[in-house]
Structure 1
């Protein structure tokens, strides 16, 4: 891969990292990289070892793990905060990547005595509003759907 593409791929990856909780689709990420969707997917996979959709999904699950360990939020609240609109899709992907359900994961960490940030703190601090989630989606295939 030529080095001239890496900055464009990094820009799309950074955009995905910053906006993981928003509806993201291939068209938007490819536009950030300045490439066609198909070329973007091929180059992203070559550079990072996974497709852009898998990357965003993995990042969402990593953030969900953080929230389930540290926050006193329901699994549904965590699901929505990290950008999934379907609890079933979230739970299936979480279980696939982590090896246990989100509920089992949270309970295991709680049993170890981990402290929890009250869920109301996230809502008072505007974390939900900052996630940029809107009722509408994007065009094209949505990540995590």
Structure 2
């Protein structure tokens, strides 16, 4: 993979980080990277270790966790705020990545320890983990 390919892939990844709540699909992201959809998907996985779709879903769930910890939005509002159009899909993906439902996560009383932690540090401890490993936050 060339240096230019990596630069274009990072541009697409940055777009997912920034516009996670927008309707994004592989063809749109591939256009951002100036690649065909197939080449983009293969190259993205080779460079970052996961598919573009998985990366985007992780970003959305990561942001959903932050909104749920605040506690001032309903699960449905959080679902829509992070770019999901189906509450069922959101709940399923959230449960898969976090190990508990969005409602159960929101109801936990151990979120207070994050109150004084800078967001950039909190992200390390609260990032959803793939492969069935649930994050505990501790």
TM over 0.5, shorter chain = yes
* Distance change >3 Å, CA 4–CA 112, structure 1 → 2: closer
Tell me whether 1:22 sits opposite 2:25 in the alignment.
no
Tell me, in whole angstroms, the C-alpha distance in 2 between the residues paired with 1:46 and 1:112: 37
Does residue 7 of structure 1 match 2:7?
yes
TM, length-normalised to structure 2? 0.78
When the two chains are superposed, the root-mean-square deviation of aligned CA atoms in Å is: 1.4
Q: Which has the higher contact order (CA 8 A, sep 6+)?
A: 1
Check if 1:40 corresponds to 2:20: no
The Cα offsets for residues 49-88 of structure 1, whole Å up to 9 and x where unpaired, read as 0010110011000000000012411000000000000000
2: distance between equivalents of 1:62 and 1:26?
A: 20
Could you say which residue in structure 1 is the equivalent of 2:127? none
Aligned equivalent of 2:99: 99
Q: Which residue of 1 aligns with 2:65?
A: 65
SS at match of 1:73: coil
CA drift of 1:4 comes to: 2.1
Task: Output one character per residue of 1:86-135: Cα deviation in whole Å (capped at 9) or x when no partner.
Answer: 00000000000000000000001xx2474xxxxxxxxxxxxxxxxxxxxx
**TM-score, reference length from structure 1:** 0.75
How many residues matched?
113
In 2, Cα distance between the equivalents of 1:30 and 1:77? Answer: 29
